[in-house]
Amino acid sequence: MAADKVKRAERMVALTQVLMAKPNVLIPLTTLAERFGTAKSTISEDLLSVRESLRLSYQGRLETLPGAAGGVRYVPEISEREAGLVLHELALKLSSPERIVAGAFLYMTDLLFDPAVLRPLGLIFAGAFRQHKPDAIVTVETKGIPLALVTAEALGLPMVVVRHGNKVTEGSSVSINYLSGSSGRIQTMSLSRRALDPGTKVLLIDDFMKAGSTARALINLMAEFEATVVGIGVLMETALTREPKLVEDYLALLRLEEFDPVSGITVVRPVPSQVEGQ
């Protein structure tokens, strides 16, 4: 009897690992039964326990689709409390005077390329935009790529990268010029014609928003592909400019509220609506 309990416990751990290793992928119960050498009814009972374990640990949820073509799918999520803690901790790191670099810039690159920092951010964006049912995640090179990638993974979607300028390896492409709000210079962004099909619903993800010129340019570029923008997510926006943003409907997780390179004062705070109730 004890041996049976141990075997079931081991199977439960392995089953959880299999599901979490393939987020948003529908796995037939038959496949799981064959893998673990047991009956589908046994797997169904195990999944009830796994579902409860995920609920208690706030690690996501299981979706079960009945029928011959059905199965089970793990949907990664993050709790509101954990999301609030993540954003508060990240805001404190970004508020450090040591992050001010020459040229009056805020250094963020190390955090934007740290998987431990990015994964919960991807889950936050996924939770905010999953209901809009996007078909793809779109970002512009280069610092927005890691953030868009973890968001794409959390939603189980492909990611599309818009380039600065034309790339020969991309084949024929569509290009547009826009005025960068950060540099004040005319820049070009382009996307391969093969990247998106007409009617695709896209979610735009980027690391920083100042005036919103990049986001507006992305929206215009998506229109050239007859794609529908269902949401815009940015890690941080600035509140230091008086001019209104060129886009209105967007989600920012953090806000740069004060930045004085001379005194070394930097204040970054979570956007209140993202941590309310914490």
Residue 3 has pLDDT above 90, yes or no: no
Q: Which residue has the higher pLDDT, 40 or 202?
A: 202
pLDDT value at 100 more than 70:
yes
pLDDT tens sequence across 7-38: 888 999 999 999 999 999 999 999 999 999 99
Give the lowest-confidence range in 118-122, 237-241, 254-258: 237-241
CB 17 within 8 A of CB 66: no
Q: Which CATH number fits domain 80-275: 3.40.50.2020, 3.30.2270.10, 3.30.750.24, 3.30.590.10?
A: 3.40.50.2020
Model pLDDT, residue 274: 52
What was the pLDDT predicted at 277?
37
CA angle 8, 11, 12 (to 5 degrees): 85
pLDDT at 135: 98
Cβ atoms of 135 and 57 within 8 Å: the answer is no
- DSSP summary character for residue 150: H
CA 211 – CA 244 distance, rounded (Å): 7
pLDDT at position 185, please? Answer: 82
Q: How many beta carbons lie within 10 A of that of residue 151, not counting itself?
A: 26
| pLDDT interval class at 278 (50, 70, 90) | very low
Report CA Rg, the chain: 22
Q: Where are the domains of the chain?
A: 2-76, 80-275
Mean pLDDT of 136-158: 96
**Mean pLDDT of all residues in 100-106:** 87
Q: CB–CB of 232/132 below 8 Å? A: no
When the candidates are 3.40.50.2300, 1.10.10.10, 3.40.50.1470, 3.90.1150.10, the CATH number that belongs to 2-76 is 1.10.10.10
User: How far, in Å, CA of 106 to CA of 197, rounded?
Assistant: 37
Same fold, 2-76 and 80-275: no
Whether the bond into 109 is cis, omega within 30 of 0:
no
Average pLDDT, the chain: 91
- Mean pLDDT, residues 58-66: 92
Query: With bands split at pLDDT 50, 70 and 90, how would you rate the model's confidence at 102?
Result: confident
Can you read off the two tokens belonging to residue 156?
Answer: 């189980």
Helices (H) and strands (E) in the chain, counts: 9, 12
pLDDT, tens digit, for every residue of 206-238? 999 999 999 999 999 999 999 999 999 999 999
So what's the pLDDT on residue 215? 96
